[in-house]
Amino acid sequence: MTTPATRPLHRDWRGSRGLFDGLRARWAEQRRLEAHARLEDDLRGLWREACAGVGLCQYISVAAGLTVRTPRFGALRVVRGRTTFTTELLPGGEPEDITKHALRLAHSLGFHGLRVDPIGGRWVRIVLLDSDPLRDGFALRRLITTRADETVILGRAEDGVTLGHALADAAHLAVQGQNGAGKSAFTYGLLAQVCAAPDVLIAGSDITGLVLGRAWTGTAHHDWQTTGTRDLLAHAALLDRLVAEMDRRLDTMPPRRDKIIPTTTTPLVLVVLEEFPGLLRAAQAKDKKLAERITSAVLRLVSEGRKAAFRVLMLAQRFEANAVGGGYARDQFALRLSFRVPGESLVMLHGEDARKLGPEHANSAPGIAYLSAPGHDCTRLRAPYLGDYGEFCDRIARHGRRAS
């Protein structure tokens, strides 16, 4: 005879632990979604008010009166602490319309800054920044390029994006800044990144003997460098030698070609002119004809060198026309960086668009620079920091290309 199975009088709650865990997870997710929805509503309202406040809006007359149209707020995302949302540009609008009001818009939303990333059509993504990317240091990792067309790091911009530049791009580089503003440290980092590339030759003139010279002993670059002020004729002779190499390349340009592509046998020549105004002043004090010879060689390099795979990197405390070989010479530099300088010096190199930043930039911390370049006009950045001078010397000794 069978009997019905008996059931325990007391239920074992241990088997329900998974049930409670699931409920807790659902409650937590519900609270997260509610918080996300509240944040989205708050930011949507603030975005509309902020856009109207900076004039990023259109006024439309309707039957009920005048209404204000602002860039439409799309979807909010918060992933690993990064807050972004999409927005639709106004008809006829461009991403730059938002970028030029970036700081004011970001502050109205309760953030330090923002970045605008185009998505497609009239939609862009707004990336909100919690802190100032220029405030903290930007260490240069052990990045070594192997080709002239590889990107070297210039710095990190205000929107948090790392900016780079390939030496093979047709642009000479002008760098200015007061003593201690970060000009030399930037140069150390730049040269350390390209010193090992087999299709790059680092040549030039350095009256200080710190950027070029002794640190490069034993490398393939050293024979193309001149330092110090004891023998100014050596500087003129080196520049003449570089011009002669440029002419040779132009004369032997292959048919149906209008520029030299850097190779290991015909490398890109980066002509570094450290404290070039000082070299000119020293030459003028000794012999005006010598100064003219030096100026003439540099003018030829900056005006004709790009097609022959020559790039000039000129460094000066102030890019005054008569200090760098004239206004024509200064105009040949497409990529321009200014570390801390007086406001007028900033305008002198970057144009009137930089005037509004003059008072702020005149008091910038070391390592903060103002950049003008094709595709990156009027951008502030923090240059990468390689380390002290000893670290620069160590990297050149370790990675600098040796003569074959």
- Position 97 scores a pLDDT of 92
Position 13 scores a pLDDT of 47
Residue 89, pLDDT above cutoff 90: yes
Task: Report, as an integer, the average pLDDT of 3-26.
Answer: 60
Answer yes or no: pTM beyond 0.95: no
Per-residue confidence (pLDDT) for residue 16, from 0 to 100: 58
179 among annotated binding-site residues: yes
User: 124-150: buried (b, 16+ CB within 10 Å) or exposed (e) per residue?
Assistant: bbbbbbeeebbeeebebeeebbebbeb
CATH architecture of 151-253+260-399: 3-Layer(aba) Sandwich (3.40)
Residue 273 zone, left/alpha/beta (φ > 0; ψ -120 to 50; rest)? beta
User: Which of 106-115, 254-263, 270-279, 351-360 holds the top average pLDDT?
Assistant: 270-279
Domain 30-129: assigned CATH number: 3.30.980.40
Higher pLDDT, 40 or 6: 40
Which pLDDT does position 191 carry in this prediction? 97
Q: Is 180 annotated as a binding residue?
A: yes
Give the mean pLDDT of 320-347. 91
Residue 93 among known ligand-binding residues: no
Please give the C-alpha separations between residue 27 and each of 16, 23, 36, 38, 236, in angstroms, as whole numbers. 17, 6, 14, 17, 77
> What local confidence, expressed as pLDDT, does residue 18 receive?
64
Q: Is residue 278 marked as binding? A: no
pLDDT at 234 over 60: yes
CA distance 122 to 291: 55
The reply to whether 184 sits in an annotated binding site is yes
| CB of 193 closer than 8 Å to CB of 145 | yes
Which pLDDT score, from 0 to 100, does residue 17 have?
62
pLDDT surpasses 90 at 207: yes
Reported confidence tier of residue 19, pLDDT bands at 50, 70, 90: low
What pLDDT is attached to residue 129? Answer: 84
178 annotated ligand binder: yes
**164-175 tens-digit pLDDT:** 999 999 899 999
Q: How far apart (Å, rounded) are the C-alpha atoms in residues 54 and 145? A: 43
Residue 121 marked in a binding site: no
Top mean pLDDT of 11-20, 189-198, 354-363 is at 189-198
Q: Where are the alpha helices (DSSP H) in 338-388?
A: 343-350, 358-361
Q: Where are the domains of the chain?
A: 30-129, 151-253+260-399
Distance, CA of 388 to chain centre: 21
pLDDT at 112: 86
Residues 6+ apart with CB under 8 A from 175: 183, 186, 187, 313, 314, 315, 316, 336, 337, 338, 339
